Structure 1
């Protein structure tokens, strides 16, 4: 009897795959919409507490940096009473559109584990049984990494960016009056980008599985990756070394973890290849 763990998955036609993918996308979209509708109902919490949280100087990040600066005896912009800018909406439908789209993005963030689940249900039938067993915990790990990135973006990247851009002036003659959509875009970009960035170990795992990435390649281009990370940190944070390091450190840690994961994947693949070779050799040996 053949080993079920190496039995190929059932084949489907191209149109069957498209139909299956369509239903997974439909269910994922419905989940995002349903969660988005729930978020729409909590307008006060979503906007006053979450979205506009980094605009207030009592935000936890500002208090932490202020306490550190005070302890070290330095003056800090994080200890100011309020940020010197206002937010306005200059379109008739500006606030309503912002409400709709913010709710949809909230639905995507909160419903991310279910979206992953639907993606996994579409991909897993194409895997062998042993590969499916080895991939257990994928949804949990990927979701945890995503939410860690979201929290990092919200509590670190977003407030640092808002504090810097909100206090930056080319002249005292110019006042900062930001459009609502621009402010929300800054918060959303920080949160979503960090959430996706924290998926780097998962992405490297699959790229290594298909042979597109190796630990040697990642080590070879580590210096280039370091430069890119520092440049990105300089773009999204205030122009001081401390803020750039705070943003760069988690990304560099993720990069190093990804190298380790790539090594483990290659070792596992090599071990499987040796076992398969030994099994084939035993099978080819005929008894006298």
Structure 2
């Protein structure tokens, strides 16, 4: 291949990547518009926890209300865009995949949305109430007057919910990389201690500074990693079986050719 054709190939790849990014941005903007229409009912649902805790949210600037709606709209847009981003990623790399890898990877795309929603549900219904109750109890035990801003409330919520929702994509990502033969269960087991350290660090960063919160977030993350190793082993065994069958067919074909000669 000449240098000119190689340069054209790089240009083609960059053009394709730019096209995929533009598609993602369009979907994200459309999701943002749709999220703005959904922001009010979602807001009414989300502040039920505030009413149960007996405090009222306050606005400390003229932009707090608008900022809250934008945060909700961005969360909705992200939920809508995640499977589309996964599809665009598949479309970008699919020309370099074999046909069976291409079809298998495409089947993962719908599960991206499912896992993202499961992660959001786990974070909102389990982790967030726990963290909110803990911080409020500390505030009240210190005899402080509670005056909470709406911006701080939603920043606190989304700093827990969105990272956990994205981390729930870990099993699917590991399966995909195993399918591409980039990862395998042997490699994942060897790097287990480093992965555990990274997951514990993430759990400590995104949760309130208490042992119970860290523990309740760390355990699901470690379970997710082990589940990812299990799924990787499942995919890897199927790959080995397919490779063995292909090699057997190749040997059998060679034997037939030698017999025919």
Length-normalised TM-score, structure 2: 0.79
Q: Trace 1:1-288 onto structure 2 (pairs within 5 A).
A: 13-50=9-46, 52-57=47-52, 82-83=53-54, 86-169=56-139, 172=142, 174-222=144-192, 225=195, 229=199, 233=203, 236=207, 239=210, 241=212, 246-284=216-254, 285-286=257-258, 287-288=260-261
Answer whether contact 1:157 1:237 (CA < 8 A) is retained. Answer: no
| C-alpha distance 120-209 of structure 1, shift in aligned 2 (>3 A) | closer
Q: Secondary structure at the match of 2:147?
A: strand
Q: Which runs of 5+ in 2 are unaligned?
A: 1-7
Answer whether contact 2:120 2:165 (CA < 8 A) is retained. Answer: yes
Answer whether contact 2:168 2:224 (CA < 8 A) is retained. Answer: yes
Question: How far does the alpha carbon of each residue in 1:23-64 deviate from its partner, in whole angstroms, 9 at most, with x for none?
Answer: 2222222222222212212342122213x233232xxxxxxx
Whole-Å separation in 1 of the counterparts to 2:100 and 2:178: 17
The CA deviation at 1:155 is 0.9
| C-alpha distance 160-213 of structure 1, shift in aligned 2 (>3 A) | same
Whole-Å separation in 2 of the counterparts to 1:157 and 1:195: 12
Whole-Å separation in 2 of the counterparts to 1:212 and 1:120: 15
The CA deviation at 1:158 is 1.6
Whole-Å separation in 2 of the counterparts to 1:229 and 1:176: 33
| C-alpha distance 89-154 of structure 1, shift in aligned 2 (>3 A) | same
Whole-Å separation in 1 of the counterparts to 2:209 and 2:144: 20
Matched positions, count: 250
CA RMSD of aligned residues (A): 3.0
Whole-Å separation in 1 of the counterparts to 2:146 and 2:202: 24
The CA deviation at 1:94 is 2.8
| C-alpha distance 211-133 of structure 1, shift in aligned 2 (>3 A) | closer
| C-alpha distance 221-43 of structure 1, shift in aligned 2 (>3 A) | closer
The CA deviation at 1:114 is 2.8
Answer whether contact 2:135 2:208 (CA < 8 A) is retained. Answer: no
Between Structure 1 and Structure 2, the one with more helix by share is 2
Whole-Å separation in 1 of the counterparts to 2:202 and 2:21: 32
Q: Which runs of 5+ in 1 are unaligned?
A: 1-11, 58-81
The CA deviation at 1:248 is 4.0
